[in-house]
Structure 1
């Protein structure tokens, strides 16, 4: 088994993959492409893609491949200053449903240029629309691209030597249950209920916020939906599943070698520091919405973001204490 050399990746890279699964072979045959799936790397081990579960963020460490040629990494040659706009688009689409019909339409010889279902995504559309949102047209038809359209884009270069053999522990981790699946299921349940209540095609949190603003009559019911979904208690679940990230003594016991401690500290810093910074502005933004619209929904969101910030503070404090203890 092989895995991507994470240090070879940088923010904004596009990852194309394939496998020997029946679905992957069918997609490649239908689209006449070398690969079957596309993803957008966001840095800090995180990528965003659109598969059957919709648009969601995932961990690059959970990807392993049978053969080195099962993965390709493509990098934008110029205009890298536009990557923040691409990331903003990608994150705004988290939760958007997948459309099999639209994905199949990408392989039609006489495919349209305008999306038939603009509020739905599939993997290659998600990636090319993200770049198009920043004025970068990777392909001729960014609504219905196939994987080879991205692979052959003149605006991208293909990287070499981007995989290595995976250790057994890495393979086991990749195959273990992901905590992000629980988060995905919660997000999807919230949007499903929002669609039921409003009879509108709610696919993202931005659309959900807009719904609450324009339709105060849904405020109380949507607030209750979120409250019952488990969305408000994801941090407590993380504390239960990873208590060593919140207690320096447990951290030192769990990561029992110097090398593993250094690695864990580095990974937490990469993920946690930018999250912590963004939460501060996110909290202020929610306060502004409350002042302007005074919705219960936004008040609940504010309390959640404050809680997430407090848990983030605890994780950062823990690695600071560990760093001091081990002398780094």
Structure 2
């Protein structure tokens, strides 16, 4: 078994993979390549992709692949400024929950001239993200295949992005994937909202709709509550309480045999914070606060409170990580 070494990756990098699923084999056959899936790296060990579940985030640390499955990573040959990279990442985040374009995905190897839908599939999502930022990777972003990305002359390969894992490590890595749970509650929220408002395509469609149609606020607010979307942050805190409390962090450090790994987690947390990997939470908080001033709707209040909590907890996590590195960083393994 193997997994992707995300320590080699930067925000905006493209990952091309495959699996043993029959659908993956069909895609490889039609595109004459050894890959069938595309993902965009958005930082902090997280990627965004489009599958039958819709557009969602995934945790690379929790994803493993059979040894005979191809894995590649690519980065633009040209230097792209941070603002443009953020545009690329912001695009895929804005598509969270977008439905999967099954028929368009099947048509993509044949490059039809017909108008494409707003729905996504894996390589379309990546190609559209780059094209939206003014950096097209292929001639036809709407019908780009993973193989088209692999063959793009605007991308270069990133070497040595694969780590081999044992069966025991695989079981440990795949246990307790909180990102998977977040996908599930997000889809539950969208299903509830779409049952009321079929016009909603992605999460970001909810806010402008409510501004124009505030009479739906109570029903949409209840969908948020019932889905578990507003409370899912508690899962991470319950699983790793020491990450948010300096005293608990020191106790955990002193009791664990994996001191180096814990310090590495803390250093990575600080690096991600310095790279603004979680800045989108503050952006969402500011947006929800502004919406609430425009119209005092319950849905806006619930989301403002959610993002305020996420920002507060992230600040606690960063401060806790900084404390441990400051105190124990030069005593790794002791």
Q: Same fold by TM (over 0.5)?
A: yes
Question: What is the CA-CA distance between 1:325 and the residue it aligns to?
Answer: 3.9
Q: Which residue of 2 aligns with 1:282?
A: 284
Q: How does 1:104-183 map to 2 (within 5 A)?
A: 104-107=106-109, 109=110, 111-115=112-116, 117-118=117-118, 120-166=119-165, 170-183=169-182
Question: RMSD in angstroms over aligned alpha carbons?
Answer: 2.2
Q: How does 1:176-255 map to 2 (within 5 A)?
A: 176-200=175-199, 202-255=200-253
- For the 8 Å contact 2:19–2:69, the answer to whether it is kept is no
Question: What is the CA-CA distance between 1:278 and the residue it aligns to?
Answer: 4.2
Distance 1:122 1:110 in 2: 14
- For the 8 Å contact 2:51–2:121, the answer to whether it is kept is yes
Q: Deviations over 1:174-205 (max 9, x none)?
A: 332411122111111222222221231x1222
Distance 1:69 1:161 in 2: 15
Q: Which residue of 2 aligns with 1:65?
A: 65
- For the 8 Å contact 1:95–1:188, the answer to whether it is kept is yes
Q: Aligned in 2, Cα 1:5/1:277: closer, same or farther, shift over 3 Å?
A: closer
Q: Which residue of 2 aligns with 1:3?
A: 3
- For the 8 Å contact 1:61–1:170, the answer to whether it is kept is no
Q: Aligned in 2, Cα 1:22/1:281: closer, same or farther, shift over 3 Å?
A: closer
- For the 8 Å contact 1:113–1:143, the answer to whether it is kept is no
- For the 8 Å contact 1:113–1:141, the answer to whether it is kept is no
Distance 1:271 1:7 in 2: 11
Deviating more after overlay: 98-107 vs 149-158: 98-107
Question: What is the CA-CA distance between 1:110 and the residue it aligns to?
Answer: 5.8
Q: Which residue of 2 aligns with 1:268?
A: 269
**SS at structure 1 position matched to 2:16:** strand
**SS at structure 2 position matched to 1:310:** helix
Structure 1 unmatched runs, 5+ = none
Q: Aligned in 2, Cα 1:260/1:300: closer, same or farther, shift over 3 Å?
A: same
- For the 8 Å contact 2:19–2:65, the answer to whether it is kept is yes
Distance 2:133 2:278 in 1: 26
Question: What is the CA-CA distance between 1:271 and the residue it aligns to?
Answer: 4.2
- For the 8 Å contact 1:74–1:156, the answer to whether it is kept is yes
Question: What is the CA-CA distance between 1:280 and the residue it aligns to?
Answer: 3.6
- For the 8 Å contact 1:132–1:138, the answer to whether it is kept is yes
Q: Which residue of 1 aligns with 2:39?
A: 39
Question: What is the CA-CA distance between 1:87 and the residue it aligns to?
Answer: 1.0
Q: Aligned in 2, Cα 1:62/1:208: closer, same or farther, shift over 3 Å?
A: same
**SS at structure 2 position matched to 1:143:** helix
Structure 2 unmatched runs, 5+ = none
Q: Deviations over 1:279-328 (max 9, x none)?
A: 34432322211111222211111111222222223222322333344255
Q: Which residue of 1 aligns with 2:312?
A: 310
Q: Which residue of 2 aligns with 1:91?
A: 93
**SS at structure 2 position matched to 1:39:** strand
1:259 aligns with 2:257: no
Distance 1:159 1:212 in 2: 44
The alignment's TM-score, normalised by the length of structure 2, stands at 0.89
Question: What is the CA-CA distance between 1:5 and the residue it aligns to?
Answer: 2.8
Deviating more after overlay: 95-104 vs 147-156: 95-104
Distance 1:85 1:144 in 2: 21
